[in-house]
Chains A and B, each alone.
Chain A
Amino acid sequence: MNGEASSPVNGIRQEAFKAFEGMEFPTIKHEEWKFTNVQKLVKNHYSFSQETKLSADEVSNAFIEGIEGDRIVFINGIFSEEHSSISASGLTVKSLAQAFKENKDVVEAHFGQESNLEESTFAKANTALSKDGIFIHVPKGKAIEKPISLYFLSDAKNEAIATTPRNLIVAEENSQVTVIEVFKTIGENQSLANNVTEISVANHAIVDYYKVQNEASQASIIDCTKVIQGKESHFTGTTISLKGDIIRNNLDITLDGEHLDSYMHGLYLLDGTTHVDNHTAVDHKYPNCHSNELYKGIVDDKSRGVFNGKIFVRQDAQKTNAFQNNRNIVLSDDAKVNTKPQLEIWADDVSCSHGCTIGQMDEEALFYLQARGISKTRSKAMLMNAFAGEVVEKIKVEGLRTYIETLIEERLHA
């Protein structure tokens, strides 16, 4: 991959760029990348953040109908003013490149602040190569009613495209915002999105962040989302993965205050050869916090689901409540799931539980439905819908929930 560091925050970017030059992308020998081979992705030739134009139709086809609120569009990683609508008032929504110039104080206070961000080669590469991304700043006490939808479109009609969106979302004290992030590739060539999103949830703030990954089958996403939560804040991260080539989600949440709630919900419904790897980590640093994680997956054909969930409970984090659950249904002989909970607990007065299951379709239940006159195909669909429903029903944005339900319906009846 090649590119140039032309950002105003050159200090951080130059450093990362150099480090990237000297570093290798992980192979499957790397403990954290054991099940996800990215070598073919990084060796591929891409055109990098190529400027291009998409027609209004091409763009609107990617939109999820029925979701209110502003839509922000990036094409090949570059902010498209033409296709974006920014009407919500009382907050700042703009391209990060622009924010570097105009909102220097906020950006510098939050950009690249997570100390371990640069441990990952992909994040480092992002820092070095990123040209643009979204900047959302919700001021103190402000609640934004409608969700903000981010569309990262890759135009791969003529050539393979790589993008490195870099996003910064800052919710100040006692504010509230919902963000929906969608990646979509248009065209037949390969695409790779190496995305980094930093989210700061200040004291008493509420942030709901949704990722919708229903990509083209030759499109890959390597995502790194870092969240830092202040005291008594609420964060919910929801990751819905339905299609793509290789998708790797790293979701790291630092619980940086007392009495806060943190939720991680995930659903992966995979077929073909789609490979989805969810690595999550939640770091309990203070007492009296609650984290709750539920990831569910159904894998069919030759697809693969990987789940790795880390929970750290530091010595000071007494009275922690941390729950984790990963449940999987494997529908075919060639589909696979690897799941691994990793709990590291140094405090003694905590309540933690974790569980993971990999199973087949419940034959008893399937027969029960059939014996009542419902065909096997439909009975299966009902059971899978019920399984996925536990995650889907937690989606608070109605339009998004309906959209996901429709996609699942379509998938199950296929």
Chain B
Amino acid sequence: MLSIKNLQAQIEDKQILKGLNLEVKPGEIHAIMGPNGAGKSTLASVLSGREEYEVTGGSVEFDGKDILELDPHERAGEGLFLAFQYPVEIPGVSTTNFMKAAVNEVRKYRGQEELTAVDFLKMMKEKMKTVDMPQDLINRSLNEGFSGGEKKRNEIFQMAMLEPKLCVLDETDSGLDIDALRIVANGVNQYKSKDNAFIVITHYQRLLDYIVPDFVHVLHDGKIVKSGTKELALELEEKGYDWIKEEVAQ
């Protein structure tokens, strides 16, 4: 589904990704861990097409297509979804109108018919349930004045609405209390299927207790330096990253 080969990217002349490789198949969950500043969010941004990041080498294929050639909205249309580490507040844009525009644009891109107002509302109601999204949040401007946890919940709600194939969750667990974490993880697990895949960026095992990964990767200094199964995450939690940095240095 996703094939990243030797990906190199920079921002403002600073090289951040330095030859990153990753293969993701349908039905898989990949966790990416790694110290602060390693380039995890950069990877997410490059995948979703942020203009500020310049790809200086390597390739990214998504379902056989070179997605680096596509605009951000086209990548979303192709079925790529990024749950932001820091979702932005957009005053004056109502959550409902935004969601309706997004859902219908994505449907158009996929050659599906636009939803009628009634069908759209029905879909909203359904998906809201999967993440316990209260109606009053939907009625407000997009993320405006939302708590940290509410913003993250809104990201997963949007994911459910847009029906992507590949979901990149960038620290969706940070700032969540235990109940909110369970709700968010539950939303993810409901959406998970053999046809879609997840890349879960996190610092904590806590999330991986709920969203169980098939693979765990360590991203350090712009590269994936170690890969393993879910046991690797437990080891990292216990020992930190220093031993990996030492391994890499040798």
CB within 8 Å of B: which residues of A?
Answer: 362, 364-365, 367-376, 378-379, 382-383, 385-387, 389-390
Contact = CB atoms under 8 A, between A and B. Distances in A.
A371 B88 contact: no
26 contacts: A362-B88, A365-B90, A367-B72, A368-B88, A369-B93, A369-B98, A370-B49, A371-B48, A371-B72, A371-B73, A371-B76, A371-B84, A372-B98, A372-B102, A372-B158, A373-B73, A373-B105, A373-B109, A374-B73, A374-B102, A374-B105, A375-B71, A382-B93, A383-B90, A385-B92, A389-B92
Contact of A386 (B71, B90, B101): B90
Nearest to B48: A371
A390 B105 CA distance: 26
Counting contact residues on chain B (CB < 8 A from A), the size range is 20 to 34
Contacts of B72: 367, 370-371, 376
B106 interface: yes
Interface string B41-63: 00000001111000000000000
Contacts of A367: 50-51, 72
Contacts of A389: 92
Contacts of A386: 90-93, 141
Interface in B184-226: none
B77 interface: yes
Contact of A378 (B75, B101, B141): B101
A382 B88 CA distance: 15
Per CB-CB distance, the 8 closest pairs between chain A and chain B, nearest first, are A386-B92, A373-B76, A373-B106, A370-B72, A372-B102, A373-B105, A386-B93, A364-B88
Interface in B8-29: none
Interface string B68-100: 000111011100001010011011110000100
A372 B83 CA distance: 10
A365 B91 CA distance: 10
Interface in B85-132: 87-88, 90-93, 98, 101-103, 105-106, 109
Given A373-B162, A374-B102, A383 B76 contact: no
A281 to B, nearest CB: 29
- A362, A367, A378, A390: most-surrounded residue (chain B CB, <10 A): A367
A72 to B, nearest CB: 35
A13 B28 CA distance: 85
B97 to A, nearest CB: 8
A386 B97 CA distance: 11
Nearest to B93: A386
Contacts of B98: 369, 372, 382
Given A364-B88, A368-B88, A372-B158, 13 more contacts: A368-B90, A369-B102, A370-B71, A370-B76, A371-B84, A372-B102, A372-B106, A375-B71, A376-B71, A382-B101, A383-B90, A383-B93, A386-B93
A390 B90 CA distance: 13
- A368, A372, A385, A387: most-surrounded residue (chain B CB, <10 A): A372
A211 B73 CA distance: 38
Contacts of A385: 92
- B75, B84, B92: most-surrounded residue (chain A CB, <10 A): B92
B148 to A, nearest CB: 16
A369 B102 CA distance: 8
Contacts of B51: 367
Given A367-B72, A368-B84, A373 B102 contact: yes
Contact of A387 (B82, B88, B92, B103): B92
Contacts of A373: 73, 76-77, 102-103, 105-106, 109, 162
B16 to A, nearest CB: 17
B73 A370 contact: yes
A262 B96 CA distance: 34
Nearest to A375: B73
Given A371-B82, A374-B101, A365 B162 contact: no
A373 B50 CA distance: 13
Contacts of A364: 88
A367 B102 CA distance: 13
Contact of B76 (A372, A387, A390): A372
A368 B87 CA distance: 8
Contact of B88 (A365, A374, A375, A376): A365
- A373, A378, A385: most-surrounded residue (chain B CB, <10 A): A373
Contacts of B101: 374, 378, 382
A378 B98 CA distance: 11
Contacts of A390: 92
B118 to A, nearest CB: 21
Contacts of A375: 71, 73, 105
A364 B143 CA distance: 13
A356 B92 CA distance: 19
- A362, A364, A371: most-surrounded residue (chain B CB, <10 A): A371
- B49, B84, B102, B141: most-surrounded residue (chain A CB, <10 A): B102
Nearest to B110: A373
A385 B94 CA distance: 11
Contacts of A369: 90, 93, 98, 102
A330 B158 CA distance: 31
A368 B93 CA distance: 12
B248 to A, nearest CB: 32
